[in-house]
């Protein structure tokens, strides 16, 4: 159905694979449009999404440089907005999104990984924001998310130097949560997704919303937001069934209601 994406459904877990290995899965407008459509049309029963890249060399080697080379200011703005909107859709998707980074995550590739909730990677993965070496800046929200994730000092160093770092350094600075052998990456991503899917889907969605939204709020507002979301949990069947199962020493199969 898509030219550059593969969508696989494994029960509650969906995998979206960016499939343009000849250009190391570089993101052009068509791929961004396809991703936008795929995100809008995920199966209703999908409780966790894994995003990865085709092949063993690259997750996404950036935005497509050949498409960007001749853009003018307005077109540059529009291309940046298009990518940023797709990545924001990932960040605000109701379900958790795991980036399984299977190789290069450069420029727009690193920015895509950062829009996901959780990043794990293969040992051969490499990360970086090489844009200033091309005469541009990170344009898919990298200047915003990198500092949030790894702190301003390290974010500035990575962006200003355009340096590419290996997986062990990415782990050390908190850009990824875990590093696995390439052969194990997708199985580990599935395991992580399964452990998320075992929990109450509405509660997981509320937790995601709280963590995302509270980050940019003042303390009192953030705490109040959490209290209100906490209250909303008590309207769900999952809360009733989950607590009843605990009190009866059983295990709850959550319905997501």
Q: Among all residues, which ones are annotated catalytic?
A: 111, 131
Given the complex with ligand CO8, which of 34 and 64 has the nearer CB atom? 64
Nearer of residues 49 and 68 to ligand CO8, judged by Cβ: 68
CB of 77 to ligand CO8, least distance (A): 7
Q: In terms of CB distance, is 29 or 199 closer to ligand CO8?
A: 29
The Cα diameter of the chain in Å comes to: 65
Chain mean position to CA 185: 16
- In the complex, the smallest distance separating the C-beta of residue 139 from ligand CO8, rounded to whole angstroms, is 2
Closest distance to ligand CO8 from the beta carbon of 199 (Å): 34
Nearer residue to ligand CO8 within complex by CB, 132 or 235? 132
Pairing of strands 126-128, 165-166: antiparallel
Comparison of 96 and 107: residue with beta carbon closer to ligand CO8: 107
Candidates 172, 159, 62; CA nearest to 112 is 62
In whole angstroms, the minimum distance from the beta carbon of 138 to ligand CO8 comes to: 6
3-state secondary structure string across the chain: CCCCEEEEEECCEEEEEECCHHHCCCECHHHHHHHHHHHHCCCCCCCEEEEEECCCCEEECCECHHHHCCCCHHHHHHHHHHHHHHHHHHHHCCCCEEEEECCEEECHHHHHHHHCCEEEEECCCEEECHHHHHCCCCCCCHHHHHHHHHCHHHHHHHHHHCCCEEHHHHHHCCCCCEEECHHHHHHHHHHHHHHHHCCCHHHHHHHHHHHHHHCCCCHHHHHHHHHHHHHHHCCCHHHHHHHHHHHCCCCCCCCCC
**Which residues are near ligand CO8 by CB under 6 A?**
23-24, 26, 61-66, 68, 76, 79-80, 83, 104, 106-108, 130-131, 134, 138-140
**Cβ at position 102, least distance to ligand CO8 in Å:** 13
Cα–Cα nearest to 95, from 242, 209, 236: 209
Q: Least distance to ligand CO8 from the beta carbon of 112, Å?
A: 9
Nearer to ligand CO8, 65 or 229 (CB): 65
């Amino acid at each position: 159905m898509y030219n550059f994406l593969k969508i696989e459904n494994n029960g509650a877990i969906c995998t979206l694979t960016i499939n343009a290995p000849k250009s190391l899965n570089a993101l052009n407008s068509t791929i961004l449009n396809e991703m936008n459509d795929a995100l809008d049309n995920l199966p209703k029963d999908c409780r966790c999404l894994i995003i990865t890249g085709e092949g063993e060399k690259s997750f996404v080697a950036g935005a497509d440089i050949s498409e960007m080379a001749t853009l003018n200011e307005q077109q540059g703005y529009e291309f940046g907005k298009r990518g940023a909107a797709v990545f924001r859709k990932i960040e605000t998707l109701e379900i958790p999104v795991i980036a399984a980074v299977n190789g290069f995550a450069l420029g727009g590739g690193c920015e895509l990984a950062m829009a996901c909730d959780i990043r794990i990677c293969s040992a051969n993965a490499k990360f970086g924001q090489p844009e200033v070496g091309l005469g541009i800046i990170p344009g898919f929200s990298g200047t915003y998310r990198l500092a949030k994730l790894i702190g301003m000092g390290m974010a500035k160093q990575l962006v200003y130097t355009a340096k590419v770092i290996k997986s062990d350094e990415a782990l050390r600075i908190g850009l990824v949560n875990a590093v696995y052998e390439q052969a194990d990456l997708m199985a580990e991503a599935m395991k992580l997704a399964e452990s998320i899917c075992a929990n109450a889907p509405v509660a997981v969605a509320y937790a995601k919303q709280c963590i995302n939204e509270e980050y940019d709020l003042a303390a009192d507002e953030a705490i109040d937001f959490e209290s209100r979301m906490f209250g909303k949990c008590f309207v769900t069947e999952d809360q009733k069934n989950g607590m009843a199962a605990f009190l009866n020493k059983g295990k709850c199969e959550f319905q997501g209601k």
